A and B are shown apart, each in its own frame.
Chain A
Amino acid sequence: KAGVTQTPRYLIKTRGQQVTLSCSPISGHRSVSWYQQTPGQGLQFLFEYFSETQRNKGNFPGRFSGRQFSNSRSEMNVSTLELGDSALYLCASRLGMMTEAFFGQGTRLTVV
């Protein structure tokens, strides 16, 4: 079956712009989580959605937001981009709360 699909794979944006990233989870999975990975901080949790509701949120400013649609696809949005937002953004899907997390290939965001 198809894995977790993230689009686009690469993005280059200018400071001050906004960006939207997309994640399609594995079919049947209703939980989608987002993570930011940087060389300095490693992997950090952004937020998690389950059945269109945000269930958990990490320690990121309000410029980072997300949503989930009825088909479980999720988007995350970053407004007023800063240089420090350059990172690999990873999406994970799960079938249920204590089940295995499966990650997508990520979106590499570069802010210039």
Chain B
Amino acid sequence: KQEVTQIPAALSVPEGENLVLNCSFTDSAIYNLQWFRQDPGKGLTSLLLIQSSQREQTSGRLNASLDKSSGRSTLYIAASQPGDSATYLCAVPLPNSGNTPLVFGKGTRLSVIA
């Protein structure tokens, strides 16, 4: 069984600060890990997908790392902006299930204060 935990559950930072969101998973037999962003009442926007063979993936101000052996991933957001305020979710595929059902953490709710 795969369990995904995200810490902290909520985070409030002043604009311009660099921040790190954490994600941990219990079963390290994963093919990839995906980070999403969700605005209130909306769907999920894919931010980054890291394959198990990669250790890092970057997109603009976002950098995600993956350490399979320790069951951890981090999402680093540089120079945060008020527009970054949203809930951030990480997800990994359920092992031994054809790699498709995703198991999600409960998310980190980020508020960036101008």
Contact = CB atoms under 8 A, between A and B. Distances in A.
Interface of A: 4, 6, 31, 33, 35, 42-43, 45, 48, 50, 55-56, 58, 88, 90, 92, 94, 97-106, 108
B100 A42 contact: no
B104 A56 contact: no
Contacts of A88: 41
B46 A33 contact: no
Given A43-B89, A45-B94, A103-B43, A98 B32 contact: yes
Q: Is the interface of A mostly helix, strand, loop or mixed?
A: strand
A43 B101 CA distance: 11
A48 B32 CA distance: 18
22 contacts: A4-B43, A33-B101, A42-B107, A43-B89, A45-B94, A45-B102, A50-B100, A56-B100, A58-B101, A88-B41, A92-B44, A92-B102, A97-B99, A98-B31, A98-B51, A98-B99, A99-B49, A101-B46, A101-B91, A103-B46, A105-B43, A106-B43
